[in-house]
Amino acid sequence: MKEGDGHHLHNEEHRQSLKTWKEIPIGGKILEAGSSKKYKTGDWRTFRPVHNPEKCTNCMICWMLCPDSAIRVGGVDDPNKGRKGVSDNPGLGNFGGFDLDYCKGCGICAEECPFKAIEMKEEKEFED
Amino acid sequence: MIILKRKKWRDNPYLIKIKMAKTRRALTGAQCTAEAMRQINPDVVAAYPITPQTNIMHAFSQFVADGAVNTDLVTVESEHSAMSACVGASAAGARAMTATSANGLALMWEVVYIAASTRLPIVMNVVNRALSAPINIHCDHADSMGCRDSGWIQLYSENGEEAYENTIMGVRIAEHPDVLLPVMVCQDGFITSHCVETAEILDDETVKSFIGEYNAQHPLLDVDNPVTYGPLDLFDYYFEHKRQQVLAMENAKRVIREVFDEFGRITGKHYDFFEGYKLDDAEKVVVCANSSAGTVRVVVDELRGRGEKVGLLKVRVFRPWLNNMIVEKLSRVRAVAVLDRSASFGGFGGPLFTEIRSSFHEEKEKPNIINYVYGLGGRELDLEQVRRVFKELEEVKNGNIGKRVRYLGVRE
């Protein structure tokens, strides 16, 4: 399992990439739009959602309630296609997998799924 | 008064001299401040009433109602909201101002730090008042002194005229690209804010051209260049941002000096971080901030008349603190009494005293320094008390220091 973002300070590679106080904008301002995409909050996850296609009816309640927009919709031209957790070819408007780069593992999807089609499993059970 | 039409005197080099006009007017400190705000004509003012600040906003809201300014006056529901509105307005690219006192400043607290850390050049007038409890509406400096580490520049004003000048200069200091820090302009509650004195007010054009246009660095309303204000900043970058604030305060020392000099050329007055009075050969000196300087000056004149070598050092700028200059001003003095209008409970003396005493730590040549905590909750500092301070300084001068921290005007 990867460490949380702040813990990257202990990661030598990350530490080398940090800028000095003279190199960053003042006041904590971020001058680049949309930079939050670079902040992979999936690092925070302790439990990973696992999808059971047998039970799933594609009601998309998980997609509506996910606070991090980490439920993918299938069938659309998805730029994240082929990324970890994104299904290859689900039907149009159907459940298209989890975006594990941003899923914090809160478990709201599993809690709210009326068909118990999502199960939360500990990250240590996975190899990647 | 300028009789010629603008176009003419601008074209005529011989009339440049009379371009600037000063008017002596009878005004309270609050009215002086409101007058400065009218001339600054900020884009946004957000404020909530609290005694004794209320008179500033009372006068300023009249200017808004009369159409004398273009300011968007936001009448918010609390001081927390007042400072929040200023932060939002300033981040959007507006010139934003507010005013408060005591408990109002305390309620702002969280956002006071945010304004400084986000590097927003807001100018706030603080009319110094004692903090509760027990509830008290009169003057002491506990409110602004509590903000000494918040990252705000702090200017102190002896009277209404100084509050007027500090407010105008505050805008230039705050908005300087090397500084970009908020400025707190302090004046004594009631003593200064509510009492009428004559004050020299400049003409509108002079003030307008002195402060100039404000061009924000990365305004939120610049939709073509989107930026983020106030993101999460954990242990990988927060410290770096604090280090930048230290540099900004360091730069402020130079910028304040430049702005003081430039404004001084307009008013013909000399402004300094610490302003001495009859200091040259003085052996005994009282250091204080705000209106008490006027009281001490009267006693200095009186004792000088009797041949005593006494002087006054008035603190105009408390943040940033000019370490070298205080040493330069006081190192040849033999005894110094620092008057603090706020107590630091559990500390060794008040905030001014600890600052001055620590400035002298490495110096070989230094005076004996003692501290008086005085005037809490508006307790009057009268001439007799100041005479007593100079009398006690005689002992201190001779090496009998006695108690370092004393209390002036409290019933023992």
Pair A96, A73: CB distance under 8 Å: yes
Report the share of chain A in percent with pLDDT over 70: 77
Q: Who wins on pLDDT, B327 or A89?
A: B327
Does A92 contact B at CB distance below 8 Å? no
Of A19, A28, A30, the CB nearest to B118: A28
Please report the pLDDT score of residue A38 as a whole number.
85
Q: Who wins on pLDDT, B310 or A2?
A: B310
Does B113 contact A at CB distance below 8 Å? no
Alpha-carbon distance B81 to B99, whole Å? 12
User: Which one-letter DSSP state was computed for residue A24?
Assistant: S
Supply angle C-alpha A4, A2, B233, rounded to 5.
20
- pTM score: 0.88
Does B228 contact A at CB distance below 8 Å? yes
Dihedral of alpha carbons B364, B367, B368, B370, sign: negative
Token pair for A9: 């300070």
Please report the pLDDT score of residue A5 as a whole number.
47
Alpha-carbon distance B342 to B380, whole Å? 14
- CB contact set of B223 (below 8 Å; sequence gap of 6+): none
- Closest-CA distance, B213 to chain A, in angstroms, reads 21
Name the helix (H) or strand (E) containing A36.
none
Task: Check whether A7 has a pLDDT greater than 70.
Answer: no
The gap from C-alpha B189 to its chain's centroid, in whole angstroms, comes to 13
User: Which one-letter DSSP state was computed for residue B220?
Assistant: T
pLDDT tens digits along B121-177: 999 999 999 999 999 999 999 999 999 999 999 999 999 999 999 999 999 999 999
Contacts of A35 in chain B (CB under 8 A): 228
* Nearest alpha-carbon partner for B231 in B114, B388, B353, B326: B114
Please report the pLDDT score of residue B314 as a whole number.
98
Which segments in chain B show pLDDT lower than 50?
Answer: 1-10, 12-17
Task: Check whether A2 has a pLDDT greater than 80.
Answer: no
Please report the pLDDT score of residue A89 as a whole number.
56
Looking only at the bridges linking them, the beta strands covering B72-75 and B44-47 are parallel
Contacts of A13 in chain B (CB under 8 A): none
Pair B33, B163: CB distance under 8 Å: yes
Looking only at the bridges linking them, the beta strands covering B196-202 and B22-28 are antiparallel
The gap from C-alpha B75 to its chain's centroid, in whole angstroms, comes to 24
pLDDT tens digits along A63-76: 999 999 999 887 65
Task: Check whether A6 has a pLDDT greater than 60.
Answer: no
Please report the pLDDT score of residue B16 as a whole number.
46
Alpha-carbon distance B124 to B121, whole Å? 10
A34: left (phi over 0), alpha (psi -120 to 50) or beta: left
Alpha-carbon distance B36 to B21, whole Å? 15
Token pair for B232: 């999460």
Does A35 contact B at CB distance below 8 Å? yes
Dihedral of alpha carbons A73, A74, A76, A77, sign: positive
> Is B233 close to A28, i.e. CB distance below 8 A?
yes
Does A20 contact B at CB distance below 8 Å? yes
Please report the pLDDT score of residue B7 as a whole number.
46
Across the A:B interface, residue pairs with CB atoms under 8 Å apart total 60
* Nearest alpha-carbon partner for B145 in B368, B373, B337, B297: B373
Of the pLDDT bands very low, low, confident and very high (cuts 50, 70, 90), residue A81 is low
Contacts of B219 in chain A (CB under 8 A): none
> Is A9 close to B235, i.e. CB distance below 8 A?
yes
Of the pLDDT bands very low, low, confident and very high (cuts 50, 70, 90), residue A93 is confident
Of B180, B225, B240, the CB nearest to A24: B240
Token pair for B332: 């040849």
> Is B119 close to A30, i.e. CB distance below 8 A?
no
Place of tokens 């307790």: B379
User: Which one-letter DSSP state was computed for residue B132?
Assistant: S
How many domains are there within chain A? 1
Domain that holds residue A58: 5-125
Mean pLDDT of A60-89: 75
Contacts of B118 in chain A (CB under 8 A): 27-29
Supply angle C-alpha B72, B204, B170, rounded to 5.
70
| Residues comprising chain A, all counted | 128
Does A31 contact B at CB distance below 8 Å? yes
Indicate which CATH number applies to the domain containing A63. Answer: 3.30.70.20
Pair B293, B156: CB distance under 8 Å: no
Task: Check whether A1 has a pLDDT greater than 70.
Answer: no
Please report the pLDDT score of residue A96 as a whole number.
86
Domains of chain B: 21-203+229-267 (3.40.50.970), 275-408 (3.40.50.920)
